[in-house]
Amino acid sequence: MADHYSNGSTNLDALKNSPVAQNVADQHAKTVDELSNLSASRRTPSTTAATGQPLTHYHSFFSELLSWNNPRASAIAYVSIVAAILSVRYFDVLRLGFKLTWMVLGVSVAAELAGKTILNQGFTTQLRPRKYYTVSKETLDSAIGDVHELVNFFVIEAQRVLFAENVYVSGFVALAAFFAYYLVKIVPYWGLALIGTTLAFLGPLVYKTNKEVIDAQLHRASEIIGAQTAQLKTVAQQNTEKATQLTKQYVGEYTAKAQTLVGLHGEEHTNGHANKSELRDADFPPAPRADIKTELAAPIEPVVPVTVKSGEQQPLLI
The counts of H helices and E strands in the chain are 11, 0
Which pLDDT value is given to residue 283?
58
Nearest to 66 by CA among 264, 221, 203, 265: 203
Which pLDDT value is given to residue 318?
46
Looking at residue 282, the DSSP 8-state letter turns out to be G
Say which residues have a Cβ less than 8 Å from residue 34's Cβ, sequence separation at least 6. Answer: 70, 71, 72, 73
Q: Phi and psi at residue 54, in whole multiples of 5°?
A: -70, 145
The span from the CA of 208 to the CA of 180, in Å, is 25
> Per-residue pLDDT tens for 102-152?
999 999 999 999 988 888 888 888 888 888 989 999 999 989 999 999 999
Each residue's pLDDT expressed in tens, for the chain with a length of 318 residues: 545 545 555 666 666 667 777 888 888 888 889 889 888 888 888 888 888 899 999 999 999 999 999 999 999 999 999 999 999 899 888 899 999 999 999 999 999 999 888 888 888 888 888 889 899 999 999 899 999 999 999 999 999 999 999 898 899 999 999 999 999 999 999 999 999 999 999 999 998 888 888 888 888 888 898 888 888 888 888 888 888 888 888 888 888 878 787 766 655 555 555 555 555 666 556 666 655 555 444 455 555 555 545 555 555 444
The span from the CA of 192 to the CA of 176, in Å, is 11
Which pLDDT value is given to residue 317?
46
> Per-residue pLDDT tens for 176-188?
999 999 999 999 9
Length of the chain in terms of residues written: 318
For 63-72, letters b (16+ CB in 10 Å) and e give: ebbbebebeb
Q: 313: burial class by Cβ within 10 Å (0-12, 13-18, 19+)?
A: exposed
